[in-house]
Structure 1
Amino acid sequence: MTTHQGLVAGIDFGTQALKISLFTLEGKLVWRGERAYPTVFPLAGRAEQKPEHWWQALVEVLKEAAKSVQLSRIEGIGVCATSSTVLVVDEAGMPQTPALLWMDNRAVDQAKAINENADTAVKEVLRYSGGKVSEEWMVAKALYLKEHGYLTPGRKVVEQLDWINFKLTGRWAASQCNAVCKWTYQAGKGFSPAFFDAIGLPDYQKLWPQEVIPVGDRVGEVTEQAAAELGIAPGIPVFQGGIDAHIGMLGAGAVEPGVMSLIMGTSFVHLVHTEKPVFHEGLWGPYENAILPDQWLIEGGQLSCGSLTTWFLQQFYPHVSAEEMGSVYEEVVAEAGKIGPGSDGLVMMDSWQGNRTPYRNPLVTGSMVGLTLAHTRYHIFRAILEATAYGTRNIIAAFEDSHVPIKRIIACGGGTKNALWMQILSDVTGLVIETLEETEAGSKGAAIVASYGLGKYPSLADAAKANVQSGRVYTPQKEAQEKYDRYFAAYLDLHVALFPIMKGLASPEKGDGMR
């Protein structure tokens, strides 16, 4: 067994899997592991996970790490997780419901009611959320859970990150990152009682953690019980993280205004810091001090991206084992790479689970237009990659409409391993896209949070800049870019033509659907 001094653990609870990275305090990767956990889709538009699966994954990955690394060397822990993945717990923190995953949109009616509320206090708060709340967010889901009788006396509704930090330290505390971006919390002002009174959630103070801790501040120390379960030392400090994609900005080094962090995972998240607040109805924010002090954060996002490639493999290769899927994926990418820009006239909409930005429409679905008998599975795969690129270009246009110039794009996440996808993104957007040597920006960002918390760096921004190693750079190809301009125009036209039809087809299931 190799001995390493001064380790920090970056723990990232993603949509499909837990990822843990162990780094030295100087930022050198020592060990990495991951463990998948299942998602259940009980009804259309619903997505659930079991919290015990998250904790079990953490136990198993740390057990695996102990075979190679002395876990007693861990000096600090940072955690990030998916945002607005919420669950109901009792007074002891025991889950009383499955977790409603971030993509679960059963709170559509609650979000609509909040957004249509004419109260002045509501409008003022929503001004700093892009003018609306999303059905994905904590506020809408908490209201849904209350209206359906799940928030009985003594129970709380918490996020995935809150529950994990509680399991580690025994302390309930929200991340300022999550609270500002998804809970309508305002840095310096806190929660607005008038807002919650107006939307029918006056008892919010009893229903979720009220203590809000900025990114990088200490949450607590690992308890004796957690240490025994995880095989680590008690007393290790745990520092507050935040939303996985947002903490990924630190892992990507995207901490300066005008630098877009493109997180390529199950969904895509587009994040940019600005020095002043920017208001645009097609973007989320502006969020004050969500990650860095004295900075505003603007957010765009696509709900269905990596999940589409997962769907493709599951549907077209259902009998391929997990061990063989890697080689199958390589073959699919290679064959799709032989097809020209535009997939021989096949254009896809990427809104399979709804549209987050710039349309903010939870009821839209996916589509493929232009199919012929000449098209193959590889055309469909390439069309998926192109659709996500069209969606990213559409979001970048919204940023530019807001007078937020995108000077650089730094991409990170599992999608960056697909060179074809990266080149398509560059060709469609017409922008240079940088990648990182370290693709797992979430767990790296969480480790950076821990290093900062331990006092290794004077600021989070300094810590992020000191830990970035650049990777491959993708430059747009002029001929492909010109072809994609035409297909992007068709992509936009499809939204105009098909949104009314999709709305008519949408029939959200009633009842809570909780399994």
Structure 2
Amino acid sequence: MSRDVVIGVDVGTYETKGVAVDAAGQVVAQAARPHRLSVPRPGWAEHDADEVWWSGLVNVVRDLLSDDAVEPGAVAAVGCSAIGPCVLPLGADGSPLRPAILYGVDTRSTEQIAALETRLGREAIMERSGNTLSTQSAGPKIAWLRDHEPDVYQRAARFVTSQTYLVGKLTGRWVIDHGTAGYFHPLYNLHDAQWDTSGCEDVVTAERLPELGWASDIAGVVTPRAAEVTGLPAGTPVIVGTTDAPAEAVSAGITQAGRLMLMYGSTIFMIEMLDRPTPYPDLWSAPYVFPGSYVLAAGTATAGSLTQWFLDVVTPGADVHTRPEWFARLADEAATSPPGARGLIALPYFSGERTPINDPAARGTIFGLTLSHTRGDIYRALLEGVACGVRANLDAYADAAAAPELIRAVGGGTRNEVWLRAVSDSTQRTQEVAAHSGASFGDAALAALGVGVLADRAAVDTWVRVSRTVEPDPTRAEVYDHLYQQTTGLYRATRHLMHDVNVTPDGANP
């Protein structure tokens, strides 16, 4: 039996994962449960908070505690993370009033973004929050509820994000970390590190938002009711937690300024740790998980979700059990296609695009198809399209005078060697691939910090391991430079058409 075990649980877009980690940073048990993303309308993305988030946590925790290597009484603390920022309206009793509106992949709030920009001014929003408004912003999503579901809006006692709901169910306290609150723009003041709803009082007041804390702060302890459901001992400390991407960054050892995490998940998410706020219009600036630390972040709208879409299209009979085998087969086929995918260009904007173009009306394109192209060519083109998106974001970091000194790659996509090499060859940057990484591992590390199992953030590095290094191939630089120019040129040439097809005859967005 392991003593001083910490548990980390992360709820992702398509799967909930959990780990139990001992004091030496060794994973002694792990568990996962798949779930589905709901897309009730084009541009919408939702989760049922109880059926997906809470059920996922409960089942994963029970699976971990049933492992012979974990003794429930030895659990020192629990940490939770989840996708975000999300908007979930709760009634006075803490019950969800509707499914949660997810992060930037949900693009329904474009009209509210425009209205808030007109009211407050883009420069004033940038000054307050360190960001311009985008579909990643939680504030406009709350405004959308006010405008389109007024009954839900009026009955909502508070608006929370994903890990806030999990921690609330475990402890009875509704709290959010500063890092996630930093994405509730324009409702959070980056410089004062507090809620600032001035000019937005008709959208929400601070009283209807969660309490603020830092990710490794103790939010409370497991209540008797939560203990009965999860199997965790009542009184177990629970930290505030954070969003999945910062938790994954912690798992990769992003504990010093200049280090950047490149997460291959349902989207690509990039987090560079900085020691001061560095707002840049095309990227996202927010606090990080440690007091006095900040991030400059970036994110595409699709990545793993795009590969999952392609798998569903070409193998409609595949289920959750055969996905790994099918993804391996597709990667093998893509490896037989040369760099540049024999002339195919893919714009991976199948759910709009986030940074650096911040265009929710962008749409996916596979350009240059002929009868000679194969499934492997198309799959490679999609991977290379995402790789070009990574390059565009790294160029934005350089423009912001924040080019990273080190890149650590994490996430399920790192198992795809073709994808990893396409990114390194496109960007001509080295990637270190973190072993035993994952947001749930980062949650466990933050929980260990919260209760003193780890002394300080420098000690997190003792838990982090690098499995391999992916070096760029300089002989492919010219091919990928040309592909990158073609990709950016294709977007510029077709942007007006994308926006046209996103307007119905009555002038409304579909």
1:9-408 map, 5 Å: 9-53=7-51, 54-68=53-67, 69-102=70-103, 103-118=105-120, 123-127=123-127, 129-148=129-148, 149=150, 150-153=152-155, 155-183=157-185, 184-186=187-189, 188-197=192-201, 200-201=202-203, 203-209=204-210, 211-285=211-285, 287=286, 289-408=287-406
- Whether the 8 Å contact between 1:76 and 1:236 is mirrored in structure 2 is yes
Which one-letter code corresponds to 1:468 in the other structure?
A: V
Give the CA deviation at 1:328: 2.2
Give the CA deviation at 1:435: 0.3
Give the CA deviation at 1:17: 1.0
Measure, in 2, the Cα distance between the counterparts of 1:257 and 1:157. 32
Which one-letter code corresponds to 2:453 in the other structure?
A: K
Measure, in 2, the Cα distance between the counterparts of 1:131 and 1:407. 23
Match of 2:453 among 452, 456, 460: 456
Which one-letter code corresponds to 1:454 in the other structure?
A: V
Q: State how many pairs are aligned.
A: 501
Residue identity over aligned pairs, in percent, reads: 27
Which one-letter code corresponds to 1:448 in the other structure?
A: A
Measure, in 2, the Cα distance between the counterparts of 1:512 and 1:93. 33
Distance 1:99 1:193, change over 3 A: closer
Distance 1:154 1:86, change over 3 A: closer
Residue in structure 2 matched with residue 482 of structure 1 by the alignment: 478
Measure, in 1, the Cα distance between the counterparts of 2:193 and 2:262. 30
Structure 1 moving runs of 4+ over 3 Å: 122-125, 128-131, 508-513
Give the CA deviation at 1:313: 0.8
Residue in structure 2 matched with residue 468 of structure 1 by the alignment: 464
Give the CA deviation at 1:49: 1.3
Distance 1:462 1:128, change over 3 A: farther
Report the RMSD for the aligned CA atoms in angstroms.
2.0
Provide, for residues 387-409 of structure 1, a one-character-per-residue CA deviation record: whole Å limited to 9, x for no partner: 11000000000110111122111
| DSSP 3-state at the match of 1:78 | strand
Distance 1:189 1:486, change over 3 A: closer
- Whether the 8 Å contact between 2:195 and 2:206 is mirrored in structure 1 is no
Measure, in 2, the Cα distance between the counterparts of 1:70 and 1:308. 39
- Whether the 8 Å contact between 1:151 and 1:157 is mirrored in structure 2 is no
Distance 1:384 1:154, change over 3 A: closer
Measure, in 2, the Cα distance between the counterparts of 1:324 and 1:235. 40
Give the CA deviation at 1:341: 0.3
Give the CA deviation at 1:153: 4.1
Which one-letter code corresponds to 1:88 in the other structure?
A: P
Provide, for residues 35-55 of structure 1, a one-character-per-residue CA deviation record: whole Å limited to 9, x for no partner: 112211111101111111221
Residue in structure 1 matched with residue 494 of structure 2 by the alignment: 498
Q: Which moved more, 1:307-316 or 1:176-185?
A: 176-185
Residue in structure 2 matched with residue 421 of structure 1 by the alignment: 419
- Whether the 8 Å contact between 1:432 and 1:473 is mirrored in structure 2 is yes
Measure, in 2, the Cα distance between the counterparts of 1:510 and 1:470. 52
Which one-letter code corresponds to 1:451 in the other structure?
A: A
Which one-letter code corresponds to 1:243 in the other structure?
A: T
| DSSP 3-state at the match of 1:378 | helix
Provide, for residues 143-194 of structure 1, a one-character-per-residue CA deviation record: whole Å limited to 9, x for no partner: 1112220211453221111111110000111221111233442353522242
- Whether the 8 Å contact between 1:451 and 1:463 is mirrored in structure 2 is no
Gaps of 5+ in 1: none
Gaps of 5+ in 2: none
Measure, in 2, the Cα distance between the counterparts of 1:451 and 1:299. 25
Give the CA deviation at 1:296: 2.5
Measure, in 1, the Cα distance between the counterparts of 2:426 and 2:508. 42
Measure, in 2, the Cα distance between the counterparts of 1:18 and 1:414. 13
- Whether the 8 Å contact between 1:416 and 1:439 is mirrored in structure 2 is no
Provide, for residues 362-408 of structure 1, a one-character-per-residue CA deviation record: whole Å limited to 9, x for no partner: 11111011111110111111111101100000000011011112211
Measure, in 2, the Cα distance between the counterparts of 1:154 and 1:135. 22
Distance 1:154 1:379, change over 3 A: closer
